Amino acid sequence: MNEATEKLPAPSLLRHLISMVYDALLVIALVFVVYAIALAAVVKISGGEQEVLDPQLGQALVVLSLLGFYSAFWLQNGQTLGMQAWRIKLVTMDGSEMKFSQAILRCAAAALSAGCLGLGYLWKLVDRNGRYWHDYLSGTELILLPKSSRDKS
């Protein structure tokens, strides 16, 4: 961890979950747009004979939308829009610049954390560092940014 983030605490589980709700609203909208574009392309290519997407294609589009959304934001500045609203930032544990592979691994590991009845998320409550399973698996962690001087007034 680098010196700039060393003293910053991890955000609470509740704060992180609320930021995830913000992001979920954006991701749902993104998935609808991507799906609509893909459906329009399928209808156009088939000359109107096919009016539905193949289920596997639909699932792949959802996964790619999720990976693209989170990876793009995390690689750009370490924050999705929901994380920005709640002053949460994703950083690497060693203070280096985040790699694309870490962003993808974090997405996959977060799905694993949720898929195990949420145990990977609840782990934060018992972990002495306040980290999730997917933090350890991806070499990343969340920090709570301090309030800016603009927020204090």
Other beta carbons within 10 Å of 92? 18
Q: pLDDT tens-digit profile of 49-83?
A: 888 899 999 999 999 999 999 999 999 999 999 99
Band the pLDDT of 150: cuts 50, 70, 90.
Answer: low
Q: Which residue has the higher pLDDT, 147 or 119?
A: 119
Judged against a pLDDT cut of 80, whether residue 1 lies above it is answered with no
d(C-alpha 97, C-alpha 91), whole Å: 8
Cα 133 versus chain centre, distance: 14
Query: Tokens for 28?
Result: 């749902």
C-alpha distances out from residue 21 to 37, 45, 54, 81, Å: 25, 36, 28, 11
d(C-alpha 110, C-alpha 128), whole Å: 19
Are 23 and 90 in contact, with CB atoms under 8 Å apart? no
Q: Model pTM?
A: 0.86
d(C-alpha 39, C-alpha 55), whole Å: 12
- For the chain, the straight-line distance linking the first and the last C-alpha, in angstroms and rounded, comes to 31
Q: Which residue has the higher pLDDT, 39 or 2?
A: 39
Q: What 8-state DSSP symbol labels residue 95?
A: S
Judged against a pLDDT cut of 70, whether residue 151 lies above it is answered with no
